[in-house]
Amino acid sequence: MGRSRRPDVSYLTPELVAQFGDFTVLPQSLLLIAEVASPEDSAEELFAKAREYLQSGCQEVWLLFPESQLVLINTQQRWLVFNPDDVVSTQTILQGFSVAVKALLA
């Protein structure tokens, strides 16, 4: 990837903790990453981040848009869009985790 990014939120698997312990930088992307859109962020910038994360080994990227009350999930296979009244759930990592979009963005 060539560049170091720090996602807003990420899930670190027990296997990565066992392998790398206390770290400041990992040689790979985390498997589940979320970015929270701020008013200064452009959609293109967030989509580029998602693409970079996936290219570096991430399996699932959540883009959270608090003002629009939308959640977009990007996996290697597809994009999914969740509206305010939907329940969003992980697609590849943390099977069984789900949360209401309104609660997530509250």
Q: What is the pLDDT of residues 3-14, one digit of tens each?
A: 556 788 888 777
**pLDDT category of residue 26 using cuts at 50, 70 and 90:** low
Which helix (H) or strand (E) segment holds residue 55: the answer is helix 43-55
Q: How far is CA 10 from CA 3, 50, 61, 85, in A?
A: 17, 13, 9, 24
The whole-model pTM stands at 0.84
User: 62 exposed, middle or buried (CB, 10 Å; 0-12, 13-18, 19+)?
Assistant: buried
Q: What percent of the chain has pLDDT over 70?
A: 89
Task: Write out pLDDT tens, residues 29-68.
Answer: 788 999 999 999 999 999 999 999 999 889 999 999 999 9
